Amino acid sequence: MQHWELLFFFFVIAFVYASVGFGGGSSYLAVLAMYSLPFQEIRLIALLCNVVVVTGGTLLFIRHGQVNWKKIIPLVLVSVPMAFLGASLRLEQETFFVLLGCSLLTAAVLLWRQNRSIPEQVDAHPTQANYTRDGLLGGSLGLLSGMVGIGGGIFLAPLLNLIRWDNARRIAATASLFILVNSISGIAGQLTHLPASIDWNRILLLGIAVLAGGQLGSRIAIARFNPLVIRRMTAVLIFVAGIEVLYKQLT
């Protein structure tokens, strides 16, 4: 495998993202975009790593009753087929990287604006379910997720916080489940037109790296970190990567 340093980068990304409830797809893409890898493989790697990192956390959220199925179903019911559709689209490489760059910039802004958790007094009075709004939101993010190769949680969580969709714990559970199902759907969509040159050995090694990082991150108490600092640092890194991706493509 070339670029052994990717194992370290992916381990750290998985560790940090798992500690705050995300899969890390946007950062995997940001790192991989710096290397001359086939863009179809870049999307596949990001989605597979998402699944590895968030599966354990999603199961824990479900076990502890943090998943509000009645409110989540409209989101995922529309997002899953749209993620499959987005992943099935045959994008040109230039189109993909421009879309990726714009997505990274948007994700960075949303992360930066998510500067605090929902206040405790809001936890007891979340907004009422709006199936039309949630379906449109889930479908839009699902399509984007499939096209770019992310789970969509990095977009979904700040937006749900913004509209006071539910309490902070349930939003984290929703984002985790959203990432999981969209990543699986996106992988299924990509399998319809994968090139024969996929380096499965590299994918396996990166999967092991994020499994180790994700398991360690999810087991370390979030109280040891300042979530605001983590989000701000991640937002800056993603923003810089987005600028670089767009600069390379547009120049």
Alpha-carbon separation of residue 190 from 41, 85, 184 (angstroms): 10, 9, 10
- Which DSSP helix (H) or strand (E) runs through 92? none
Q: Judge whether residue 119 has pLDDT over 60.
A: no
As a whole number of angstroms, the distance between CA 8 and CA 133 comes to: 40
Q: Two tokens at 194?
A: 């994968």
pLDDT at 120: 44
Q: In 10 A of CB 35, how many CB atoms?
A: 11
pLDDT value of position 80: 93
Dist CA 106 CA 22 (whole Å): 16
CA distance 98 to 25: 17
User: What letter would DSSP give residue 222?
Assistant: G
Cα separation, 218 vs 18, in Å, equals: 5
d(CA 251, CA 95): 14
Mean pLDDT (the chain) is 81
50 contacts 251 by C-beta, under 8 angstroms:
no
Provide the token pair at 32. 């991989």
The pTM (predicted TM-score) of the whole model is: 0.81
Answer yes or no: is pLDDT of 121 > 50.
Answer: no
pLDDT at residue 232 tops 80: no
31-77 pLDDT, tens digit each: 887 777 777 888 888 889 889 888 877 888 888 888 888 888 888 89
Q: Is 180 exposed, middle or buried (0-12, 13-18, 19+ CB in 10 A)?
A: buried
Query: What is the model's pLDDT at position 221?
Result: 45
Query: Could you tell me the residue range of the domain that residue 98 belongs to?
Result: 5-250
Rg value, the chain, Cα: 17
Query: Total domain count for the chain?
Result: 1
Return d(Cα 220, Cα 239) in angstroms, integer. Answer: 27
H helices of the chain, in order, are: 5-19, 25-32, 39-63, 69-88, 93-113, 120-123, 131-148, 153-162, 168-190, 200-219, 227-250
